Amino acid sequence: MADSKSPMNPRYQIPVATFKSKTVNLYHYILFFFMISIINCVPYVRSVRKDNLIRVAIICGVDSVSISGIKDQVFSSECQINLSSEIPQYFTSKNGFVFVNKKKYRGNLEVQLNNGKIWIINVVDIEDYLKGVVPCEIGGITQPLFEAAKAQAVAARTYAWSHIDQYEHLGFDLYATVKDQVYRGFSCENELTNLAIEQTRGQILTYRNAPVEAKYHSTCGGRTADFNDAWPGQAPPYLKSVKCTYCSKSPHFEWQKELTKDVFFKKVRNKLASIGTKIPFDELIKNIKLIKNRKSKRVLKLIIITEKNEYTIPGYYLRTVFGDDQDPGGLLKSNYITLKAKGNKVVIEGKGWGHGVGMCQFGAIEMARQGKNYQRILYHYYSGTKIKTIK
Ligand SMILES: [Zn+2]
């Protein structure tokens, strides 16, 4: 998932009713409290996009692509488009589906040119989009874990609604990768996750009547992270560290990584340069201190101690600084770690996988297994939020 944008989007606010009166009497007070109670009970958030369509970049920056769909009222099978083709082009679905490089998608397609390359945008109903997201994000779900799929559906729907127009300048809303949410179209759909989406249709998580920044991750390792453990900026009040006693069965709950000191310090030096902290080569790194967030146990600051200086790095860079090419996305599995020296080696003992903020997916699965419903799962990980239906 992408880094956070503003968690509160004023476009989603419900208009608040006001009334004026010159003579305020008991009747007015009663009416006032009656109206306030109605406003507080409004069960929905007004949608900014009336057609409920979302625009997802499914192919980014290629030289050629093959598309099957209806163009200018004629069905075109495996139409080859390359850089010399006329662009933009639009394809609508036949029986609800289009194909891109033989891969099946719901909705329609736009072929765009961005920076001299071909981009394919899938324009699809949000509920249909979710059918190609939820199974990719939560994995294979069985009937006893159905409530976890519903929790994931609400989290993914909330993410989609709160990121509409995110890349407006590029002509789409979301990437189809971990930059936003993994979306693989019709090929990854399954009946159970489709049912979870249907049974939670339109439901999103809100805070003060606006869609929340619904962050989620694989495994927290026993306690979720505070927002600022993972990102800079203003922390939304509902993304606070909470205890999670549910993910201990995850294969990522605890892990270890060992490197020789030479290799470790060399990698750290290179990674620090990549985030703009250049340590001169004649300064030997002697030690690294980790200052931790007392509540979440995540690293708040790294202090790199050399022979001549001390460099303080915010903890949200830790996964980059300690990550290497073997790690997915080049990031260390988490920033819930302890560093130990063992002879000429450095041992990283870690917990969890992912940024650790918001819903822990292994935790959600275990909560479902223990009989907790999707509302309980979501309210556990996103404190103080409310589920509402978008209209
Ligand atoms: Zn957890």
Residue-wise pLDDT for 95-114, tens only, equals: 999 999 999 999 999 999 99
Overall domain count for the chain: 2
Domain extent, residue 164, equals 53-207
Residue 29 placed within a domain: no
Q: Are residues 292 and 202 in the same domain?
A: no
Output the pLDDT for position 27.
56
- CA–centroid distance, residue 222 to ligand 1 (Å): 5
Same domain, 178 and 268: no
pLDDT score recorded for residue 178: 87
Tell whether the model's pLDDT for residue 384 goes beyond 50.
yes
Ligand 1 centroid to Cα of residue 175, in Å, is 26
Ligand 1 centroid–CA 300 distance in Å is: 20
Please give the distance, rounded to the nearest whole angstrom, from the Cα atom of residue 383 to the centre of ligand 1. 15
> DSSP secondary-structure letter at 88?
S
Could you tell me if 185 and 261 lie in one domain?
no
Distance 361 CA to ligand 1 centre (A): 7
In a domain? residue 244: no
Global pTM? 0.84
What is the distance in A from the centroid of ligand 1 to the CA of 364? 8
Q: Which of 182-186, 323-327, 368-372 has the lowest mean pLDDT?
A: 323-327
Distance 265 CA to ligand 1 centre (A): 31
Q: Do 177 and 97 belong together in one domain?
A: yes
Residues 199 and 264 grouped into a single domain? no
Average pLDDT in the chain: 88
Distances (CA, A) of 145 to 202, 239, 335, 376, 380: 21, 24, 28, 14, 17
Ligand 1 center to residue 68 CA distance, Å?
43
Instruction: Work out the average pLDDT over 222-249.
Output: 97
- Looking at the domain assignment, is residue 382 inside a domain? no
Q: Are residues 160 and 272 in the same domain?
A: no
Q: Are residues 61 and 196 in the same domain?
A: yes
Residue 3 C-alpha to ligand 1 middle, in angstroms? Answer: 20
Q: What pLDDT score does 40 carry?
A: 40
Ligand 1 geometric centre to CA of 353 (Å):
10
* Spacing, Cα 221 to ligand 1 middle (Å): 5
Q: pLDDT tens digits, residue range 168-215?
A: 999 999 999 988 999 999 999 999 999 999 999 999 999 999 999 999
Residue 300 has pLDDT above 50, yes or no: yes
pLDDT > 80? residue 25: no
Within a domain: 230: no
Does residue 384 lie in a domain region? no
Residue 6 has pLDDT above 70, yes or no: no
Q: Reduced to 3 states, what is the DSSP secondary structure of residue 155?
A: helix
Residue (of 263, 187, 348) closest to 176 by Cα position: 187
Interacting residues of 181 by C-beta distance below 8 A, sequence separation 6+: 1, 133, 136, 137, 156, 159, 160, 174
Output the CA 348–ligand 1 centroid distance in Å.
Answer: 20
Please tell me the distance between residue 223's alpha carbon and the centre of ligand 1 in angstroms: 6
Q: Is residue 147 part of a domain?
A: yes
Task: Please tell me whether residues 258 and 203 are part of one structural domain.
Answer: no
Ligand 1 mean position to 229 CA, how many Å?
16
Q: Are residues 278 and 200 in the same domain?
A: no
Q: What percent of the chain has pLDDT over 70?
A: 87
Question: Considering the domain boundaries, does residue 111 fall inside one?
Answer: yes
What digits encode the pLDDT tens for the residues 266-285? 999 999 999 999 998 889 89
CA of 357 to the centre of ligand 1 (A): 10
Q: How far is the CA of 366 from the centre of ligand 1 (A)?
A: 9
Quick one: which H or E segment has residue 103? strand 103-106
84/164 same-domain check: yes
